[in-house]
Chain A
Amino acid sequence: MASITINNLTKYYRSSCAVDHIDLHVAEGELISLLGPSGCGKTTTLRMLAGFVQPDIGQIFVGDRLVSSPQRTVAPEKRNMSMIFQSYAIWPHKTVFENVAFGLELRNISRDQLRARVSRALEIVHLGKLAQRYPSELSGGQQQRVALARAVVVEPEILLLDEPLSNLDASLRDEMRNEIRNLHDQLGLTTVYVTHDQGEALVLSDRIVVMYDGTIQQVGTPEEIYEQPATEFVARFIGRCNVLTGTLLASGQVDVGGVLIAAENYAPGVSHGHEVALSVRPHSILIDPIACPFADSTVNCFTAWIKQHDYYGEFREYIVQLHESEIMLSVVTPPQIHHQVGEQMHLAIPPAACRVVPRSTQITTEVSATIAAATAAAV
């Protein structure tokens, strides 16, 4: 077991920067997620950790041992790490037992000990009875378990996982996610988990590293990431969120196209008179057909029209348009509260729920599409 320290790590592909001067410390025994849309640099970072890719700038230390630098990279096979691949990478010509035993065979241990350790690893992932099967005779979840057993049986210092659940059915995904967390807690391995699925990252991680365009946007616990997003990108990427852009006034209000919205929660890096983004979660916004649902009706109280209504079973989502403005907001209510499209509502945005974050200028349409897809998947 060991900690990981990443200093100023950079990787260029042709002229573009896949990983852009990132710094990160992963504590011993910690489970950390690298989260971001495809192309954000998370997989390249993981492959540099594994030793498959050599950095162009920067270093990676395991404990105090330098493993990667532009000058010298320790080969993947000499790092004592294990990796779980997106495709599982189970060898189809070897039985379950042979797959798991492979890593130990390379370590020259006695036949009996090998058998004992493989059996124990298979027990941990509940595959003891399937040891002699071929992978083609296993279900997707079972193959994933083989990959897990194969990775942990060699007692690595560090476990790396590259989108391990993305090929599984939704129902199996929850089960395997818990399995991975349990395995981590049992063995206490320092674990780096790459995913584009924010739900997975929120449930699974000790800390989350949100990456975008080769840079780290925010590092924090799941609560910090969800409640205190550091940038517009994080706010948009994690969970459902209304993001309005405007100018931060000296009063602390945000001027969104002439509508003034008060906020009480400011991320570092925002300053008065500059362009900012204001994020507020749909479930924080209150609506009422009769009166402003907020005690102090002078702050952030608006009238709005319901433009669209979607029933999700667990909740309802209303898309509302503020009176005399272009601003559209998503509002989520319990399913019991039912309004019609076209109704006029009173709407309150609690200032405490309004987080002001710096704008992320480079969000391309492609990335917004991935974000939309990720958000849809998370519902």
Chain B
Amino acid sequence: MTGQIPIPNSIRHSYLRFNQWRTGIDFSPFFWLLFVATLLLLIGLPGFWLIFRSFTMTGSGAFTLSNYFEVFSNPRFREALLNSLILATGAGIFSVVIGVPLAWAVTRTNMPLRGLMRVLLLVAFSIPTFLGGVAWILLAAPTSGWLNRVAAALIGTETLFNIHTMLGAIFVVGLYSFQYVFLMVSSALEFVSSELEDAATILGAGIWKSTLRITLPLVLPAIVSGFILAFLEAIALFGSPTIILVPARINIITTEIWQQFQFPPNIELASAFAICLIILTAFLLYVQRQLLARKGYTTLTGKAGRKRLIDLGAWRWLFLAFTLLIATLSLFLPVYVLLRTALSKSWGRPLDATNLTLQWFDDVLFKQPFTNIAIKNTLIYAAGAAVLAMLIGIVIAYLTSRRLTRFYKVLEFIPMLPLAIPGIVIAVGIFAAYSRPPLLLYGTALMLIVAFTTRFLPIAFSNSNNIFKSINPELELAARNLGASQVATVQKITVPLVKRGLISGWILVFILSVRELSCAILLYTNNTQVISTALFQLVTEGSYERVAALGIIMLVIVFTAIGSAYKLLGRDFMLEQS
């Protein structure tokens, strides 16, 4: 490195050779090797074993197609597939029916308390769906549910609501996935200039006509992609549909995969199931991409159009009532019933002085060894996975966004792969890869940390990618130009610029890992319990007071993390979750 004006190529290569200046040895091949090895371990190996075992005979290990044949010929599995499709379609439709009007009311109209309503709906989004499912069992289980007991007292029927039905499952899953539609449609509506509506109005269309014929068709791609995301969320979901539908003897794909892991385990069949689920998911994501790329839907404006809020008149109170109803169903009622249950000696009895207790918190925090260890494990695993995922994410993002390697297109694609893969499928892959020598991780903390890292690598990567895309590389080149070395540039310029983004990415992965169930449920052992698996176990034991107390603890962890992110980063944080 002389004092000459560097040509772009020399800048490019010098990025990776900084160690060479100090020690005289070029470390970049080692660095590369380590890197490729990590990606292989996280994504390549599980993917390979997943595919391999799906074509393998149980026991003998011979090549076979019988696992796939079994998936499609066994009426029980066909039924599970059908049920999953019904659940996902239902939840998708429910999400659109709820999410679109709410998004419109919050972004385009003069509905009162719009900002607060938006926050409430997004806070509800951070409640794990599984916990939402638990809460709704406490609320609407036939006879015992709190709402049913209220109904019994008022109108004398004990089975007004029954959550243990397909409709019940659609309702609960929809309550925690309509936010996908809400977020996508809101941000699309932000880009629709009021002039587009005014143009329709002055030609003779009133508010409703211009909304239905101009505004909503304009954001149709966002509506459809919101639907697809909600659909994918529902079809990949394990916890809440399982605890709601198993008592009703309705089986779905994810519970079938889980059952293949019960004794005697049939990993091969589970793999075949998982591959089918991946194909379905990948297909829908492809459809979504095509839709978003379609010509004619990009909103054209010469200038970013100004926006006026639509005056809803008296209707605005109706929209507010509707929004409050959804906030009540998804947030207030579930949190209330969880608190109430956690604080009762027995949740079946009315909550009065004789029934009030803190014993369940004491119990799950200190007395029960397995919940106690689950809480500790959750914090350690989630923090570890977040560090690992961000570390890998940030390095790949730096390499790809600055085009430091010829393989940047491949490198951009690989970390996004797990996005198309349901958590339970990732768990099958990780299990298939790491439950056998030489890499026997089953039963260790690493098993879950690896699983969480793989699962949330796409989030960490895209988060990091956005950070680097928002930083002009010229900021770094300017420092180099003024005489700073590569190392000094990264220290003094790059790191301070990306710090906030890194922290927010870390917190996001941490939160998602704390909530994660569908991956953990196949991989945990008694020593590697996490809160979500402990909750699941407690639900199957019917120990609802403990479930509620542990659930509240999980919510406290999640909300504390969100709160500190808010404090650190401002309110943009919530929006990044989308």
Contacts and interface: CB of A to CB of B under 8 A. Distances in A.
B86 interface: no
B202 A79 contact: yes
Contacts of B527: none
Interface in A273-325: none
Q: Which of A78, A90, A91, A137 has the most CB of B within 10 A?
A: A91
B195 A86 contact: yes
A178 interface: no
B165 interface: no
Given A77-B205, A106-B205, A150-B203, A87 B301 contact: yes
B230 interface: no
Contact of A83 (B202, B220, B296, B300): B202
A76 interface: yes
Q: Which of B195, B220, B297, B303 has the most CB of A within 10 A?
A: B195
A136 B196 contact: no
B298 A107 contact: no
Contacts of A140: 302
A92 B188 CA distance: 14
A93 B220 contact: yes
A77 B203 contact: yes
B193 interface: yes
B206 A77 contact: yes
Given A92-B218, A136-B296, A102 B203 contact: yes
Nearest to B308: A52
Nearest to B303: A87
Contact of B204 (A52, A87, A107, A166): A107
B10 to A, nearest CB: 40
A87 B302 contact: yes
A93 B203 contact: no
A160 B193 CA distance: 18
A139 to B, nearest CB: 11
B204 A86 contact: no
Interface string B288-301: 00000001111111
Contacts of B218: 91-93
Interface residues of B, number: 29
A154 B196 contact: no
B70 interface: no
Interface string B207-240: 0010001100110100000000000000000000
A154 B201 CA distance: 13
A128 interface: no
A81 interface: yes
Contact of B195 (A78, A87, A106, A166): A87
Nearest to B305: A87
B299 A76 contact: no
B188 to A, nearest CB: 12
B297 to A, nearest CB: 6
A143 B302 CA distance: 10
Contacts of A89: 193, 195-196, 198-199, 301, 305
Contacts of A86: 195, 302-303
Given A93-B217, A93-B297, A140-B302, A87 B202 contact: no
Contacts of B308: 52
A52 B299 CA distance: 22
B34 to A, nearest CB: 46
A67 to B, nearest CB: 13
A136 B202 contact: no
Nearest to A102: B203
Contact of B206 (A75, A79, A134, A147): A75
A88 B204 contact: no
Given A92-B299, A93-B297, A85 B199 contact: yes
B200 interface: yes
Given A89-B195, A92-B296, A93-B217, A77 B201 contact: yes
A211 interface: no
A228 to B, nearest CB: 35
A137 B295 contact: yes
Contacts of B193: 87, 89
Nearest to A104: B203
A331 interface: no
Contacts of B206: 75, 77
A76 B295 CA distance: 31
A135 interface: yes
Contact of A81 (B202, B205, B295, B300): B202
Contacts of B300: 87-88, 90, 92, 135-136, 143
Contacts of B199: 83, 85, 89-91, 147, 150
Q: Which of A76, A81, A93, A166 has the most CB of B within 10 A?
A: A93
Q: Which of B196, B203, B298, B302 has the most CB of A within 10 A?
A: B203
Contacts of A87: 193, 195, 300-303, 305
Interface string B173-207: 00000000000000000000101101111111110
Given A87-B302, A167-B302, A134 B295 contact: yes
Interface in B283-319: 295-303, 305, 308
Given A87-B305, A89-B193, A91-B196, A106 B203 contact: yes
B204 A77 contact: yes
A253 interface: no
Contacts of B301: 87-89
Contacts of A79: 202
Contacts of B305: 87, 89
Nearest to B304: A87
A103 interface: yes
Interface string B522-542: 000000000000000000000
Nearest to A133: B296
Given A92-B298, A134-B296, A136-B295, A154 B303 contact: no
A354 interface: no
Contacts of A48: none
Contacts of B198: 50, 52, 76, 83, 85, 89
Contacts of A69: none
Interface string A127-150: 000000011110010010001001
Nearest to A78: B204
B296 A93 contact: yes
A82 interface: yes
Nearest to A83: B202
Nearest to B297: A93
A89 B306 CA distance: 11
A76 B196 contact: no
A208 to B, nearest CB: 24
Nearest to B204: A106
Nearest to B220: A93
5 contacts: A77-B201, A85-B198, A85-B199, A86-B195, A88-B300
Given A52-B201, A87-B300, A93-B220, 18 more contacts: A77-B203, A78-B204, A79-B202, A81-B202, A86-B302, A88-B300, A89-B198, A91-B218, A92-B218, A92-B297, A93-B218, A93-B297, A102-B205, A107-B204, A134-B295, A134-B296, A140-B302, A154-B204
Interface of B: 193, 195-196, 198-206, 209, 213-214, 217-218, 220, 295-303, 305, 308
Ordered nearest first, which 10 A-B pairs have the shortest CB separation?
A167-B302, A103-B203, A89-B199, A89-B195, A87-B301, A134-B296, A106-B204, A85-B195, A77-B204, A83-B202
